[in-house]
Amino acid sequence: MRALAILPLLLCACLQADQASDRAAIQKIIARFNDPRERASVVTRDADIATLDREEGPSVSPLFFEVKDVSSVTPDVAFVDAVASQYGSVILKRSRHACFVLRRDHGEWRIAVMR
């Protein structure tokens, strides 16, 4: 009878471990997305990505995305709340809100939408 009382706690612990590993994997994907050479490898084939070219200039750094929160929508879909920052000699630092939707594709997280 005691084993039945402990079973829900064990199940919660297992789910928590999966969420922690998914969060770490998602943070690595966003970090790889920050590198323009790696972007193509972390997005889905049908990804809907906002254009990033208009934000760049000769005296402005590329956008740098930092994860603030990860929410699991389903076991294979996650929503990422992030901040996009840019640095420059005139603007110093410019930040704005960014959102990502990631989808697990063949066991690996990939970015499906970025706004």
Is 26 a residue whose pLDDT tops 70?
yes
Q: Most distant CA pair in the chain: distance in Å?
A: 69
Note the pLDDT of residue 57: 65
Torsion sign over Cα 30, 22, 68, 47: positive
Over residues 32-73, the pLDDT tens digits come to 999 989 999 999 999 999 887 666 667 888 889 999 999 999
Q: Is 27 exposed, middle or buried (0-12, 13-18, 19+ CB in 10 A)?
A: middle
The partner residues of 70 in beta bridges, in order of sequence, read 80
Bridge-based pairing of strands 43-49 and 108-114 is parallel
pLDDT tier, 79 (very low <50, low <70, confident <90, very high otherwise):
very high
pLDDT, mean over the chain: 83
Residue showing tokens 């200039």: 57
Identify the structural domains of the chain with CATH numbers, from first to last. Answer: 2-114 (3.10.450.50)
Note the pLDDT of residue 54: 61
Cβ neighbours for 43, distance < 8 A, ≥ 6 positions apart: 33, 49, 110, 111, 112
pTM of the predicted protein model: 0.78
